[in-house]
Amino acid sequence: MTMFSLKNKKALITGGGSGIGKAISIVFARQGAQVFIFDIDEMGGEETVKEIEKEGGNAIFKKCNIVNEEEVKKAIDSIAQPENKLDIIINNAGIAHIGNVENTNSDDFDRLFTVNVKGMFNVIKASISYLKVNGGVILNMASVAASVGLSDRFAYSTTKSAVIGMTLSVAKDYLSYNIRSNCVSPGRVHTPFVDGFLKKNYPGEEQEMFEKLSKSQPLGRMARPEEIAGLVLYLCSDEAAFITGNDYFIDGGFTRLNS
pLDDT digits (tens, 9 = 90+) for 56-82: 999 999 999 999 999 999 999 999 989
Residue 69: domain span? 10-187+223-253
Residue 157, domain member (yes or no): yes
The SS3 assignment for 94 reads coil
pLDDT above 90 for 140: yes
Catalytic position from the list 130, 156, 177, 202: 156
Number of separate domains in the chain: 1
What mean pLDDT comes out for the span 230-245? Answer: 98
> What's the whole-number average pLDDT of the chain?
96
pLDDT above 70 for 53: yes
Residue 232, domain member (yes or no): yes
Q: Which amino acid is at 128?
A: I
Rg (CA), the chain: 18
Contact predicate 152/98, CB 8 Å: yes
Angle at 26 between CA 233 and CA 182, to 5 degrees: 25
Residue 193, domain member (yes or no): no
Residue 52, domain member (yes or no): yes
Q: Report if pTM > 0.85.
A: yes
What mean pLDDT comes out for the span 101-113? Answer: 96
Residue 136, domain member (yes or no): yes
Residue 192, domain member (yes or no): no
Residue 198, domain member (yes or no): no
Q: Is 234 a catalytic residue?
A: no
Cα distance between residue 57 and residue 59, in whole Å: 7
CATH classification at residue 120: 3.40.50.720
Which residue(s) pair with 247 in the sheet?
A: 183
Residue 2, domain member (yes or no): no
